[in-house]
Structure formats: structure tokens, C-alpha cells
Amino acid sequence: MTDENRFRQRLLEMKRIRTQRLRRIDREVRHEGMSADWSEQASERENDEVLESLGNNSEIELQMIEHALRRLDDGNYFYCHNCGEKIPEARLELLPFTPYCVDCAEEFEPRDN
Ligand SMILES: [Zn+2]
């Protein structure tokens, strides 16, 4: 299998997992089979916030995965979106949907720590 196909497989698998997760979160937030008890509803509401933030992460990741798949199609996948340098394969193994090399990621994806 070529590197390209290998990464495509991984991205499609990541996409599948996140799509399923989003669907599940969606169902739970909509409360199919809502409980009548007030205290239970309060804890369900807290749960919703956790679920929603999980959902938001999944959505952002899904968008990045879609972009990565498009870049694979265009043949840009292995090159940094910002500077055009080749992204080390070890980095793509860890973050298959990153569009940036390490240097640019520090600039564009600021971390808290
Ligand atoms: Zn770069």
C-alpha cells in the first residue's frame, strides 16, 4: 500500500468514528426517552454540556479530516499548507489531519501550555 493510501485509510476510519460519535451525541442531547424526575433532568443538563463540547471537538476534527482528504486528492497532503515544506511522516502518523509542519503549527495552533 502506498503512503497515500495508508493515510487515506486512516483518515476515513477517523472520519467514520467521529461521524458515529456525533450521531450518538445528537441522539443523547435530544433526549429520546426523557426522565420525569427533576434532579435527574438537572444532571442530564450537565451531561449535555459535556456531550456538546465533545461534539464540538468532533465537528472541528471532522472538518480537518475532510480537508486532509481533499488535500490527499489534490496531492498536497504531505506538504505544509503554510510554508510548503514537507511534513515529516512521523508527525502525520501522530496527527493525520494536520495541515501544518511543526514550525507552522506552533504559529497557527497555539497551545495553552
Ligand atoms: Zn510549515
Is pLDDT above 80 for 80? yes
Looking at residue 8, what is its pLDDT?
97
- Give this prediction's pTM: 0.75
- Cell triple for residue 15? 472520519
pLDDT one-digit tens code per residue, 12-56: 999 999 999 999 988 888 876 555 566 667 777 788 888 888 888
Residue type, 94: L
Query: How many whole angstroms from 61 Cα to the centroid of ligand 1?
Result: 20
The answer to whether 55 and 85 are in contact (CB under 8 A) is no
Distance, CA 57 to ligand 1 centroid (Å)? 24
* Gap from CA of 77 to ligand 1 centroid (Å): 12
* pLDDT at residue 91 tops 70: yes
